[in-house]
Structure 1
């Protein structure tokens, strides 16, 4: 079962093989994405907390990467963390997200990226609900809700 130890080991030892790869130049991404989507996903930015209605959206469906449209999270795994960003307990599949140690801003965190196109999604923390006890804190602008 996915847990914090698994996340840390994956971040340190390497991520699983992605289901496919999507690679584009910076200019191609910039032409396809809004300026805010580009900033968050390609430049590792963060949107303001509580800036998206997606935090309060709890309808069935799948959340995909806004860049490559890879399905990433099931709405059944979504919960209200009170942090101001959509939060999930687990990805849809083990190989759709990648974990990277992030030592920016004077702290150590685990960054979550799309394993298919390397888009920055957010971070994962060990303070979520059961069964995983994980909180995938994801920028809403990095996600596109599918039906």
Structure 2
């Protein structure tokens, strides 16, 4: 049952994120972009509903597992790596327009590596820097795409 509760909470967080993104894209000027994103969110919604139904069914089927309660399951999920990933992605999306793509991505990758118990110094510092240099060379220099800038860069 604990696994199903974690799965249901994770799916709800993804659904809420998709809902906010859907509300945000309604202001896009080009109908092609809007329609593509609406199509993708529709597909994700169908998947989420099916997976949520499957998790609820399995949870109800195994409800006689008295080893854990709902509160304990939620507490365990908050301490899990899934929760860490969800919170970091949400913070990343919030901070990209504020502090810029490069600084937010550097902080996101370094913090995520650290939180996921990667204690090698090159994975926390060098890996994000090399990745950002490659992104800069590919997207900004080679393709001429402007990445989001913020107050820092």
Q: Which has the higher strand share?
A: 1
Structure with a larger share of its residues in helix = 2
Global fold match (TM > 0.5): no
Q: TM-score, normalised by structure 2?
A: 0.21
Highest RCO, 1 vs 2 (Cα 8 Å, sep ≥ 6)? 1
